């Protein structure tokens, strides 16, 4: 039941909620795609979500985003050789940035025939927090510049089936977020049918906040505001599962 396209839904909530650079509060000098295009392949979805950012934040993030995108593809290929990388765009990026490739190559070890990479977790965290902040702003009209109350980021392959089911579930909404935010406008109203023991069925309406599939097998996210917590879940390349929570 995933939504396939990102529509540029007009945000009717108060513009003052998201003002200036989303990340540092400085002057808004540019528009930043969330997710950054380095996580997607062409043809790109028509209208990617954008948030305001300053030039300095924008530049800082793009280095780390290139690192994370190249790291993920190198891990999946078990190699940093551009010819082995499945995503052409990332193969090209590694060709163009020999320094980054050398860095990844130096982080590579082979243990019992398994290729492993030592990761720079600070850079991964920096990127995931940035993406989560972007989704919270774009979907929920919430500015989350503080440190999150919880941060989780691990390969889907390391999660148990129960954990994956729990992580992947869409959100049945008990609390409706910022009136007019994009997230609110996107929600799907679903009906659940319950068969009762006396064989009369009853129907319960519920509002479903579902995952947004920005590009299949490349990037999806779900942003939830339950009144107490802002939770953003992200899956990059169907490999890296991330969950960031800010308690209000
Ligand atoms: Zn900034």
**For residue range 39-60, what is the model confidence (pLDDT) as tens digits?**
999 999 988 888 999 999 998 8
Ligand 1 centroid–CA 232 distance in Å is 21
Integer Cα distance of 20 and 27 in angstroms: 5
Ligand 1 centroid–CA 144 distance in Å is 13
Considering the entire predicted model, what is its pTM? 0.85
For the segment 194-211, the average pLDDT, to the nearest whole number, is: 65
- Residue pair 134/34 in contact by the 8 Å Cβ criterion: yes
pLDDT at residue 156, as a whole number: 94
Integer Cα distance of 52 and 236 in angstroms: 22
Ligand 1 centroid–CA 31 distance in Å is 11
Ligand 1 centroid–CA 24 distance in Å is 4
Least confident of 94-98, 112-116, 156-160: 112-116
φ, ψ of residue 75 in degrees (nearest 5): -65, -45
Residue 227 has pLDDT above 80, yes or no: yes
């Amino acid at each position: 039941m995933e939504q396939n396209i990102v529509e540029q839904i007009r945000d009717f909530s108060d513009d003052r909620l998201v003002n200036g650079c989303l990340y540092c509060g400085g002057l808004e000098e540019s528009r930043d795609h969330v997710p950054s295009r380095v996580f997607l392949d062409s043809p790109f979805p028509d209208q990617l979500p954008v948030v305001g950012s300053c030039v300095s934040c924008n530049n800082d993030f793009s280095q780390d985003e290139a690192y994370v995108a190249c790291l993920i593809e190198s891990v999946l290929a078990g190699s940093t050789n551009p010819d082995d990388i499945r995503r052409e765009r990332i193969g090209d990026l590694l060709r163009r940035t020999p320094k980054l490739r050398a860095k990844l190559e130096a982080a590579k070890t082979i243990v019992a025939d398994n290729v492993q990479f030592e990761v720079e977790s600070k850079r991964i965290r920096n990127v995931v927090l940035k993406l989560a902040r972007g989704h919270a702003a774009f979907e929920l009209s919430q500015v989350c510049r503080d440190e999150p109350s919880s941060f989780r980021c691990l390969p889907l392959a390391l999660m148990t089936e129960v954990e994956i089911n729990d992580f992947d579930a869409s959100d049945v909404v008990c609390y409706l977020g910022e009136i007019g935010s994009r997230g609110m406008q996107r929600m799907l109203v679903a009906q659940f049918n319950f068969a009762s023991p006396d064989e009369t069925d009853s129907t319960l309406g519920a509002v479903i906040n579902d995952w947004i599939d920005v590009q299949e097998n490349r990037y999806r996210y779900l942003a939830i505001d339950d009144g107490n917590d802002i939770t953003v879940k992200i899956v990059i390349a169907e490999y890296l599962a991330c969950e960031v929570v800010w308690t209000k």
